[in-house]
Amino acid sequence: MEQARKQREKNERRMQRRNQGPGDIEVVNAADLQRGLPSVEEAMAAIEQRSRTAHVASSIPAKLFVGGIADEVTEKELHAEFERFGPVADLVIMVDRETRARRGFGFVTMANRKDAAPAIAGLDGYEMKGRSLAVNVATERR
């Protein structure tokens, strides 16, 4: 009984929807649709800006080992030499923990991996304050 009643109510609702027909269709013009949208020039400028930002953001750093650093070389001077090849994210010259004396090597992290190869080519064997630098890709300690 209950099932038959539910079926009748369902059929009645279905018939009511058919008799109503489709609802009113809203008529809009092209100006209404374009309101708030950027112009083609603005959209292209935004895309270019995003692609430049995304490229910078997605750059992968590269850590380089630098050996043969003279005691007289400052971090600022070493930074300036590497900066010629691209942005430097980090630079450290290693010192002895106890004596604080320089150990003659350090690490430079280039902000973008593509700048690492030119830096190695340009600075490996480069003489700085009487000593020849050895520059190559840093590897994990063994």
Tell me which fold the domain 59-137 belongs to: Alpha-Beta Plaits (3.30.70)
Closest CA to 72 of 99, 96, 89, 93: 93
pLDDT of res. 125: 92
pLDDT of res. 69: 94
pLDDT tens, position by position, 9-38: 999 998 888 887 777 777 777 777 667 777
pLDDT of res. 135: 94
pLDDT tens, position by position, 106-125: 999 999 999 999 999 999 99
pLDDT tens, position by position, 33-82: 667 777 778 878 887 777 665 555 457 899 999 999 999 999 999 999 99
Give the residue extent of every domain in the chain: 59-137
pLDDT of res. 80: 94
pLDDT of res. 107: 95
pLDDT of res. 56: 53
pLDDT of res. 47: 79
HSE-CB of 132 using CA atoms within 13 angstroms: 3
Give the Cα separation of 62 and 37 in Å (integer). 41
Measured from the Cβ of residue 105, the count of other Cβ atoms closer than 10 Å reads 15
